[in-house]
Chains A and B, each alone.
Chain A
Amino acid sequence: MTCDELKDDYATYALGALDGESLDELREHLARQCENCTPGVRQARELAARMALTVNPVEPPRRLRKRVIALVNPHAGSRWNTVLVLVTALSIFFTVHIWLRHRESHREFDAFLAKYNDMQEKLAVLEDPLAKEVTFGKGARGRVVVSPTHGVAFSGQNLAALPAGKTYEMWIIPKGGKPVPAGTFAPSPDGSALHLRTGPVDIASTAAVAVSIERAGGVASPTADQIIIVVPL
């Protein structure tokens, strides 16, 4: 069939309704990049695309957004998701706590109590309505939450695993002052980390929160060329 004979079928093809000999012929023209049929079908696809606008709108379930995002970022979530995870973890620790008390294993109980207290402190920062939250990121990404009364929480993702003898160290950088060490931390195997430095923070006089890679145990001043994240407040 000639291009002229096929041109009336471009739109039917783009809609997906063409079949029989016409379909076979048009496919053959498209396969050889026919200079008439290829642009003709391309233009006809615009009508098929516009058919999407004839649909009756239906609101998808809210969980679908989370499902889609989780496809590429299973650890993504809102601040409330983080809180939910922590609350769930707290429940687990409480259960373990009771079990350990029952076993009268005081040393283990103390360790779990410390973790419980740590989580309580993180929750206090994350839930503080006066806290300032700043997101960052390309590559390593996440957010910093600064509570004026409870401290600084750093939540990061895609953090690279470090070689033995190295650690991540957080810094609070005052305006016009030297960076103040704010504790070391190691990411989970999946590259995520939630690190907390407790204590009041004057947000107005704080320029930024930063993270550097330092030797294990941490250092008093950040190594300039090892600062990997700077989050201005």
Chain B
Amino acid sequence: MNLLGLLLALELSDGANDSDLARRLQRREPQAMADLYDRFGRLAYSIVYAIVRDTGVAEDLVQETFLRIWNRAAGFDPDRGALGPWLLAVARNRAIDYIRSARARMDRNLFELDEHGSAAHFVDMEREVLNADAGRRIQAAMAKLNENQRKVIELAYYEGLSQTEMAERLGQPLGTVKTWVRTALKQLKDQLGGGAVMTA
């Protein structure tokens, strides 16, 4: 168990406050931006840094992330939306877009904001999706994956690779990679139990 990860998760466990924070963002209260950063800045930076591995780039991308949330807050539903997951998805998408651009692999762009980073995708998500218990369970579940399963999940999450790209990277048949991905996700679902509702 990563203790720091748990502490991070504890910071993020208050869904009611997130609703209030979202409303203040919509009212364009500058202090809301400071509170948003205090709530999610460290985790957003950790995710972006894990992907780009460059502190300067990570700072720029996190700054862009918060600006995007600020500019798009009007389209967020404070009563039904999950603010933290939305922000972290935008942060991850910005980082993956960056490394894709840096690697000149722009033939496939799965991480366009509208497809995976739109506020609308985070409506009716469980409010406590990022709480401490979720942190413990996802880390325990990841630890139980075998090496191949963990590798493909990490390639997808931290590098934004598609199954076809993973197959090329790993030198494995596409069908094998698909099996690893599918079984990994099913195992994560089973390990997470009812709290992580997933159809896989």
Binding site for B on A (CB under 8 A): 7-8, 10-12, 14-20, 23, 40, 42-61, 63-65, 67-69, 71-73, 76, 138
Contact = CB atoms under 8 A, between A and B. Distances in A.
A47 B185 contact: yes
Given A11-B185, A14-B198, A16-B110, 12 more contacts: A10-B200, A17-B161, A48-B89, A49-B82, A49-B125, A56-B46, A64-B41, A68-B34, A71-B66, A72-B30, A73-B33, A138-B29
B33 A57 contact: no
Interface of B: 2, 4-5, 7-9, 28-31, 33-34, 37-38, 41-43, 45-47, 49-50, 55, 58-59, 62-63, 66-67, 70, 82, 84-85, 88-89, 92, 96, 108, 110-111, 116, 121-126, 129-130, 134-135, 137-139, 142, 152-153, 156-157, 160-166, 181-182, 185, 188-189, 192, 196-200
Contact of B156 (A7, A15, A52, A68): A15
Nearest to B7: A57
Contacts of A14: 116, 198
B62 A55 contact: no
B200 A65 contact: no
A51 B157 contact: yes
A11 B152 CA distance: 13
Contact of A55 (B47, B162, B188, B196): B47
A51 B198 CA distance: 13
B41 A46 contact: no
Contact of B163 (A18, A43, A61): A18
Interface majority SS (helix, strand, loop, mixed), chain B? helix
Given A55-B5, A57-B8, A68 B192 contact: no
A58 B200 contact: no
Interface majority SS (helix, strand, loop, mixed), chain A? helix
A59 to B, nearest CB: 7
Interface centre among B30, B43, B66 (most CB of A within 10 A): B30
A144 B138 CA distance: 47
B59 A47 contact: no
A69 B35 CA distance: 9
A202 B61 CA distance: 49
Contacts of B89: 45, 48-49
Nearest to B155: A17
Contacts of B129: 46, 49-50
Contacts of B139: 53-54
A43 B197 CA distance: 6
Contact of A44 (B7, B9, B28, B199): B199
Given A10-B200, A44-B198, A47-B185, A52 B30 contact: no
A47 B189 contact: yes
A19 to B, nearest CB: 4
B138 A50 contact: yes
Contacts of B166: 17
B162 A65 contact: no
Contacts of A71: 33, 63, 66-67, 70
Contacts of A40: 199
Given A56-B46, A69-B34, A17 B199 contact: no
B125 A69 contact: no
Nearest to B108: A19
